[in-house]
């Protein structure tokens, strides 16, 4: 059989490959003219037992509560007391102070790596506050706010970042990849979206056991292109798993913009529709909107109404990590041009407008939190930092794999210790 010739047909225009391109690049003026911002309060709030097919528009709209004057408006406005909102603001300020301190620590050579969540503080903290304390969270690597909102000790976070002698994870994880079962915080993985099917498995197990705990998981918009994302949504839809899927659409996945993950074609919330999953698109810089959407989804999951997918529409103000230089791929003033503003400033403006806060108390709190983080950092440094040598006993690399170490692993440990002692005598 003769091979078919690839001769273009003369009566057809040649095919062309589409390569997504962001609206602006370095040297350009920032351009967010393509972003449609709905007015606060206009998106309806459906009943928590609504059929996903009946709330299709919510995957394309934008749940917003805080208007331009700082007022909480519309059906999604949560009825939170002033003290709860002030605590939310405090957690958001604490994580920003923590990020700033750890960023400087990395630049000073005290750790090898750090990732800030600047501009995304409203994604993790209000969501965590809307969950029950014993609900299980399966985060990605920019949700340190979950631990902050659950009052995890700052010094333990810093010890983990420094991989020092007091590191709760004994130096086995990369910096910022925390884990705390006691705080409902599943181990962070550098392999993106692996936590999605793990979270679904937890949620299915909770339902199978007749428990009341639900799961919540987070990933970036770029990693929705991973196969694990789609496998997780399939299982969640089929088994009606009590889970909340959070997609943090911060516009950039390292140096590639959201268009490479399909953001040019439709919203990321719309990915839930094809699976028959309730989907919401939320202003990710509006702390009260995130709280309200998460509470809605949590109540839905806890009453056996199934999973919810939430797209948090936000913006990554800083580089992807301390290894990244965003000036190489995006316009210089993009973060100041972002139309949804700064989440901390917006929540502060709401509290001030409500007579529940003022500038003096705000500055005093910022100073207090900066001092708190500084003190925790100084205390953690006593346990060691990068470059101070091996912080954990050598044999710990063999421990904690099994409840009781099997003979073959013990044999390997003893052989390794003997070789170490021979090469580096005490």
pLDDT tens digit string along 167-179?
999 999 999 999 9
pLDDT of residue 96: 98
What's the rounded Cα separation, in Å, for the pair 29 and 275? 39
Task: Give yes or no for residue 132 having a pLDDT over 90.
Answer: yes
pLDDT, residue 328, reads 94
Find the helix packing angle between 287-302 and 82-107, rounded to 10°. 110
Neighbour-count burial of 191, counting CB atoms closer than 10 A to its CB (0-12 exposed, 13-18 middle, 19+ buried): exposed
Give the pLDDT band (50/70/90) at residue 9: confident
**CA 64 to CA 73: how far, in whole Å?**
8
- Rounded (10°) angle between helices 343-353 and 121-130: 60
Q: Which two tokens stand for residue 364?
A: 């005093």
Handedness of CA 36, 39, 42, 48 (dihedral sign): positive
User: Would you kindly state where each structural domain of the chain is located, as residue ranges?
Assistant: 52-381, 394-419
Average pLDDT over residues 310-323: 96
Confidence of residue 426 (pLDDT cuts 50, 70, 90): confident
Residue 2 is predicted with a pLDDT of 55
pLDDT score of 220 more than 90 = yes
pLDDT in tens, 372-423: 999 999 999 999 999 887 899 989 989 998 999 999 999 999 999 999 999 9
pLDDT tens profile 19-42 = 999 999 999 999 999 999 999 999
Q: What percent of the chain has pLDDT over 70?
A: 99
pLDDT tens-digit profile of 68-122? 999 999 999 999 999 999 999 999 999 999 999 999 999 999 999 999 999 999 9
Q: Residue 389 has what pLDDT?
A: 79
For residue 198, give the 3-state DSSP assignment: helix
CATH number of 52-381: 3.40.50.970
Which pTM does this prediction carry? 0.95
Q: 182 pLDDT exceeds 90?
A: yes
Residue 7 has pLDDT above 90, yes or no: no
Q: Band of the pLDDT at 3, cuts 50, 70, 90?
A: low
Task: Please spell the DSSP secondary structure of 65-133, one letter per residue.
Answer: -B-TTS-B-STT-----HHHHHHHHHHHHHHHHHHHHHHHHHHTTSSS-----TT-HHHHHHHHHHS-T
Q: How far is Cα 272 from Cα 279, in angstroms, rounded to an integer?
A: 6
Q: Which pLDDT belongs to residue 387? A: 86
Tokens of 231: 């496998």
So what's the pLDDT on residue 295?
98
């Amino acid at each position: 059989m003769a091979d078919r010739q690839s001769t273009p047909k003369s009566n057809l225009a040649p095919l062309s490959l589409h390569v997504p391109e962001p609206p602006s690049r370095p040297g350009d003026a920032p351009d967010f003219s393509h972003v449609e911002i709905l007015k606060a309060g206009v998106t309806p709030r459906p009943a928590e037992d609504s059929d996903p097919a009946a709330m299709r528009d919510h995957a394309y709209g934008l749940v917003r509560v805080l208007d331009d004057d700082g007022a909480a408006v519309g059906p999604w406005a949560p009825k939170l007391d002033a003290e709860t909102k002030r605590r939310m603001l405090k957690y958001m300020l604490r994580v920003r102070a923590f990020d700033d301190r750890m960023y400087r620590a990395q630049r000073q050579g005290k750790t090898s790596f750090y990732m800030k969540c600047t501009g995304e503080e409203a994604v993790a903290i209000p969501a965590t506050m809307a969950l029950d304390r014993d609900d299980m969270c399966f985060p990605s690597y920019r949700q340190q706010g979950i631990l902050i909102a659950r009052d995890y000790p700052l010094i333990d976070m810093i010890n983990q970042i420094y991989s020092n002698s007091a590191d709760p994870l004994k130096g086995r994880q990369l910096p910022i990849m925390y884990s705390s079962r006691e705080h409902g915080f599943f181990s962070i993985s550098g392999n993106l979206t692996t936590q999605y099917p793990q979270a679904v498995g937890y949620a299915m197990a909770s339902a199978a056991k007749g428990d009341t705990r639900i799961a919540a998981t987070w990933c970036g918009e770029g990693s929705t292109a991973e196969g694990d994302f789609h496998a997780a949504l399939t299982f969640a839809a089929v088994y009606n798993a009590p889970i909340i899927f959070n997609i943090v659409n911060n516009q950039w996945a390292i140096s590639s913009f959201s268009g490479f993950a399909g953001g040019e074609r439709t919203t990321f919330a719309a990915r839930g529709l094809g699976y028959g999953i309730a989907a919401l698109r939320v202003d990710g810089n509006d702390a009260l909107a995130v709280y309200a959407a998460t509470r809605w989804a949590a109540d839905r999951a806890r009453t056996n109404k199934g999973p919810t997918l939430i797209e948090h529409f936000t913006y990554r103000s800083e580089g992807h990590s301390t290894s990244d230089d965003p000036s190489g791929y995006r316009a210089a003033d993009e973060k100041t041009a972002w139309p949804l503003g700064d989440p901390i400033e917006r929540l502060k403006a709401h509290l001030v407008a409500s007579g529940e806060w003022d500038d003096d108390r705000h500055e005093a709190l910022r100073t207090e939190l900066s001092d708190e983080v500084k003190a925790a950092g100084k205390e953690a440094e006593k346990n060691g930092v990068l470059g101070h040598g091996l912080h954990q006993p050598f044999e710990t690399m063999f421990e904690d794999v099994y409840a009781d170490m099997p003979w073959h692993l013990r044999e390997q440990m003893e052989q390794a210790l003997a070789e170490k002692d021979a090469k580096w005598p005490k």
